[in-house]
Structure 1
Amino acid sequence: MHPIARESLPLLAGAAVGTGVAGAALVLADISSPLRAPFTFFFLIVAPGAALASTLRGLDPLTRVVVAAIGSIVLDLLVGQVMLMLHLWSIRGGVAVVAALSATLFLLPLARHSYGVTVRRRDP
């Protein structure tokens, strides 16, 4: 990897996190802005995708990106479908649920590591 690309990766990750947080904050605070829709869309795609990618450490990078992107879309659709089915749909509620599910998915590997849950093989 080129040294400039390696140094700019944390900067890009920070910009992505900032954009997603700004989108979620604009929706949850009910602030009208021309940036609300694109930033919120970015949050709804990237937050669950990054959370899923963090749980899929065993896959190669391309497979992880594809599975995380598809899983992100599926998670968003399931949240919307369940909220519509229960007559609880709201934009703020949908963003809050996606944020909570993403945070939970981010914390799963950490919890698994802290409790020491590992797969142990038995010797025959």
Structure 2
Amino acid sequence: MQNFRDKPTAVRTDLLPVLAGIAVAISGVGVALALADVQSPLRAPFILFFLFAGPACGIAAALSRAAPAARAATAAAGALVIDLLVAQTRSSPHTLTVGGGIIAVAAITALLFLRALGRRMRKPELINPADRLTKGIKKIRSGRFHT
């Protein structure tokens, strides 16, 4: 008889994209509710999720080579710093609005993701582990690899 424990790797590999999709959906609904100025009980928790998870994921993507624990701690602290700096710079000239703060945080998050994407585009071997293997094989065959 087959049970759930027979395929734990499939669950682990499929769970991360599903959780990322759920996070993007929650953030998108929160941003849409805030920018449309809809009064809903879901607006505040979804926006708080976006304000924390967006910059944290952007920082984590930018720090792909760091250890997982260090990356998580840095991403959490960095998200808090980004939110506080946006609030401080927007409140100094007394122009703090909900939409303006959300757009500023979204822009910073997009820049962080674009930085990580640019680094991956410059180094295609970071995209697929098989590419790293073929690059290593080509290096060995060309004689540039000395043991």
Q: Does 1:17 align with 2:28?
A: no
**Identity within the alignment, %:** 43
2:46 is paired with a residue whose SS is helix
Q: Output one character per residue of 1:49-94: Cα deviation in whole Å (capped at 9) or x when no partner.
A: 0001110011011110110000000000000001011211011110
Residue 76 (1) aligns with residue 83 (2): yes
Q: 2:102 corresponds to which residue?
A: 95
TM-score relative to the length of structure 2: 0.73
Q: Describe the superposition over 1:9-49 as per-residue Cα deviations: whole angstroms up to 9, x where unpaired.
A: 21111101100111111111111111000000000000000
More RCO (CA 8 Å, sep 6+) = 1
Asked if 1:53 corresponds to 2:60, the answer is yes
Partner of 1:57: helix, strand, or coil?
coil
Partner in structure 1 of residue 4 of structure 2: none
Distance across 2 between alignment mates of 1:114 and 1:45: 27
Secondary structure of 1:82's partner? Answer: helix
Structure 2: tracts of 5 or more residues without a match: 1-7, 124-147
RMSD: 1.7
Residue 27, structure 1, aligned to residue 34, structure 2: yes
TM-score by length of 1: 0.86
Which residue of 28, 43, 55 corresponds with 2:50?
43
Count, aligned residues: 116
- Shift in Å at residue 110 of structure 1? 2.3
Q: Distance in 2 between matches of 1:70 and 1:85?
A: 22
Rounded Cα–Cα distance in structure 2 between residues aligned with 1:51 and 1:113: 14
Cα distance in 1 for partners of 2:20, 2:63 equals 18
- Deviation beyond 3 Å, 4+ runs, structure 1: 112-116
